[in-house]
Amino acid sequence: MRIVIAGAHGQIARRLGRLLSSRGDEVVGLVRNAAHEADLRADGSGPVLLDLESASVEEVARVVAGADAVVFAAGAGPGSGVARKDTVDRGAAVLLADAAEQTGVQRYVLVSSVGVESVADGARPEGVDDVFVAYLRAKLAAEQDVLARGALRTTVLRPGSLTDDPGTGQVTLRRHVDRGSVPRDDVAAVLVALIDADLDAAVLELVSGPTPVADAVAAVRRDAPS
């Protein structure tokens, strides 16, 4: 398969790129910093320099054309303010969806976050600062936009608190899960399985648990509406 990853130098995205390339997939990684290109090549990915905050739909479409799937794993990152939560975590995700639609790429996987439903309908969770509220609202808006597109087969993955612990290969993956953490290794492994599963309009939360990744994704696929 040919898979395009937006935000390809992120910690989850690099793990994902290595897993995909190691099994023979063609991985195209979108990055906005030329200094990151060598890392992607070392991972087995083909880097493309493109800033999703300023790129046009046509520029992104030229890269995603012919892909079997696109994965949005980008984020404004720590230290960014309210404005960039919107332009990256929402705007760039929407741009990637626009390009996928334009080129007929149906499979779209969006890496989101647990907790986004706490800001639904304008709600504001107690004890959360303005920047994190903006982040949650941007992620939720991205989910809503992409899921509403009938031309895309979208899977939204909401990981719990991320750790750098070694992956266990065992998770809990359901529509709703209890609060918890999950190694980035396991998030990447679940993303690979979800790309293959090709679900439609699926929103899943993920934390560590007792179920092997393949079995967890198979259960989700089995329970998905036909």
The CATH code of the domain that includes 111 is 3.40.50.720
The number of distinct structural domains making up the chain is: 1
Q: CA-CA distance, 13 to 122, in Å (whole number)?
A: 30
pTM: 0.94
pLDDT computed for residue 123 by the predictor: 81
Which pLDDT score, from 0 to 100, does residue 68 have?
98
- pLDDT digit string (tens) for 159-204? 999 999 999 999 999 999 999 999 999 999 999 999 999 999 999 9
**Full domain range(s) for residue 18:** 2-223
Strands 69-72 and 46-49: unpaired
Rounded CA-CA distance 194/213 in Å is: 10
Place of tokens 């800001």: 119
Q: Which of 102, 43, 92, 49 is nearest to 71 (CA)?
A: 92
Integer angstrom CA distances of residue 10 from 121, 147, 168: 30, 23, 20
Q: How many helices (H) and strands (E) does the chain have?
A: 8, 11
Report the pLDDT value the prediction gives residue 226, as an integer from 0 to 100: 60
Comparing C-alpha atoms, which of 200, 201, 199, 226 is closest to residue 216?
Answer: 199
CB 111 within 8 A of CB 159: yes
Low-confidence ranges of the chain (pLDDT < 50): none
